[in-house]
């Protein structure tokens, strides 16, 4: 018994010296995990004689759960910044769920302007804390760009956020979502959301650009959106834009017929032929005929 105590004491003395001299947090953690003689009293000794940053304390909470309560209070007394709390919250520590929630509620103590970005990150992450972050975020005055970011990047809260945002969603927002969503086509349920968004556009009073964006990004609604566009008195510019963006041969032919009935300008005709990919020689020939006859009837047969 005496020999065992002396051996423990010798080891402890050696550990003390090395850890304290080097402020070696890793060695401390190693000994806390693997040395049976590393007691709560010894922890108290080290915590009062060493310098710990918040990342050190998070690491100890994770790796030495037996003393996590004591270390947690040291962590909080260190007045962690939102960045430190986020390091703890976003780590994948299922066994420390209670402490991650504690860190989350500590985060909420900061002024809203300081934590808005962190809340958006937590929402997009889509884990067990995300719903609480989303509820808090929706209670704040957040900018349009924040709504749009969640709609585009968060699979879990896309529909809920869209329901909140759609009430005040304008044409420029619809176009922004369509144009930026193309980078997220591999995200689960993105196609379903685009379909829902497309129907939303077609059954409300959005402008022609929103309708054309629906044609471009929601292939299942291409014909329906085209019919809606025709009822919306499209300009020649709208029709040319459709020709430039849509692959459907049927829609292209119909679009060209409509343009020719609208007395297109020379510039508009140039645009049409550019998107039809005619050769320069063919275009020159057409313009020569056009200048001779001064009307567009010949174009109907050529196209």
What one-character-per-residue DSSP string does the chain give?
-HHHHHHHHHHHHHHHHHHHHHT-HHHHHHHHHH-TT--HHHHHHHHTTS---HHHHHHHHHH-GGGHHHHHHHHHHT---HHHHHHHHTS--GGGHHHHHHHHHHHTTS-HHHHHHHHHHHHHHTSTTHHHHHHHHHTS---HHHHHHHHHH-TTTHHHHHHHHGGG--HHHHHHHHHHHGGGTTSTTHHHHHHHHHHHHHTTT--HHHHHHHHHH-GGGHHHHHHHHHHT---HHHHHHHHHH---HHHHHHHHHHHHHT---HHHHHHHHHHHT--HHHHHHHHHHHHHH-SSHHHHHH-
pLDDT score of 124:
93
Q: What is the pLDDT of residues 53-82, one digit of tens each?
A: 888 888 888 887 778 888 899 899 889 999
pLDDT score of 171:
93
Phi–psi pair at 267, nearest 5 degrees = -65, -40
Query: With 90 as the cut, is the pLDDT of residue 295 above it?
Result: no
Q: What is the pLDDT of residues 201-240, one digit of tens each?
A: 999 989 999 999 999 999 899 999 999 999 999 998 899 8
Query: With 80 as the cut, is the pLDDT of residue 20 above it?
Result: no
DSSP secondary structure string for all residues of 116-144: HHHHHHHHHHTSTTHHHHHHHHHTS---H
Collapse the DSSP code of 152 into the 3-class scheme (helix H, G, I; strand E, B; otherwise coil) and give the result: helix
Query: With 50 as the cut, is the pLDDT of residue 3 above it?
Result: no
Q: Which pLDDT band, with edges at 50, 70 and 90, does 160 fall under?
A: very high
pLDDT score of 21:
74
> Looking at residues 249-270, what average pLDDT do you find?
80
pLDDT score of 56:
84
Query: With 70 as the cut, is the pLDDT of residue 296 above it?
Result: no
Cα torsion angle, 137, 143, 149, 151, sign: positive
pLDDT score of 172:
92
- Alpha-carbon dihedral 164, 166, 169, 174, rounded to 10 degrees: 120
Query: With 90 as the cut, is the pLDDT of residue 189 above it?
Result: no
Task: Answer whether 262's CB lies under 8 Å from 236's CB.
Answer: yes
Share of the chain above pLDDT 70, in %: 79
Per mean pLDDT, which of 122-131, 184-193, 254-263 is the most reliable? Answer: 122-131
Q: Which pLDDT band, with edges at 50, 70 and 90, does 2 fall under?
A: very low
Instruction: Give the least confident one: 6-20, 49-63, 183-197.
Output: 6-20
Query: With 60 as the cut, is the pLDDT of residue 16 above it?
Result: yes
> Looking at residues 173-195, what average pLDDT do you find?
77
Long-range contacts of 281-286 (CB under 8 A, 24+ apart): none
Question: What's the token pair of residue 132?
Answer: 């609480």
CB atoms within 10 A of CB 80: 21
59: closest CA among 48, 75, 40, 44? 75
Q: Which pLDDT band, with edges at 50, 70 and 90, does 8 fall under?
A: very low
The more confident residue out of 56 and 286 is 56
CA distances from 302 to 163, 189, 260, 274 (A): 49, 44, 12, 15
pLDDT score of 1:
35
């Amino acid at each position: 018994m005496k020999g065992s105590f002396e051996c423990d004491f010798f080891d402890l003395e050696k550990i003390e010296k090395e850890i304290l001299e080097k402020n070696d947090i890793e060695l401390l953690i190693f000994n806390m995990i693997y040395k049976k003689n590393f007691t709560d009293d010894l922890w108290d000794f080290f915590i009062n004689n060493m310098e710990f940053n918040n990342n050190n304390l998070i690491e100890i909470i994770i790796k030495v759960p037996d003393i996590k309560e004591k270390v947690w209070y040291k962590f909080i007394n260190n007045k962690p910044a939102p960045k430190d709390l986020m390091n703890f919250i976003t780590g994948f520590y299922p066994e420390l769920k209670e402490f991650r929630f504690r860190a989350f509620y500590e985060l909420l103590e900061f002024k809203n302007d300081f934590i808005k970005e962190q809340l958006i990150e937590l929402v997009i992450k889509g884990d067990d804390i995300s719903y609480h972050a989303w509820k808090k975020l929706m209670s704040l005055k957040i900018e349009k760009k924040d709504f749009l970011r969640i709609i585009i990047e968060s699979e879990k809260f896309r529909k809920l956020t869209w329901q909140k945002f759609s009430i005040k969603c304008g044409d420029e927002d619809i176009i922004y979502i369509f144009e930026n969503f193309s980078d997220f086509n591999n995200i689960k349920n993105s196609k379903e959301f685009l379909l829902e968004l497309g129907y939303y556009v077609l059954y409300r009073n959005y402008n022609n650009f929103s309708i054309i964006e629906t044609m471009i990004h929601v292939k299942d609604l291409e014909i329906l959106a085209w019919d809606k566009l025709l009822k919306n008195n499209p300009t020649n510019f709208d029709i040319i834009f459709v020709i430039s963006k849509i692959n459907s041969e049927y829609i292209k032919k119909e679009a060209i017929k409509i343009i020719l009935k609208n007395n297109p300008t020379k510039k508009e005709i140039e645009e049409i032929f550019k998107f039809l990919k005619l050769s320069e020689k063919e275009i020159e020939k057409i313009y020569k005929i056009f200048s001779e006859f001064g009307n567009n009837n010949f174009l109907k047969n050529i196209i």
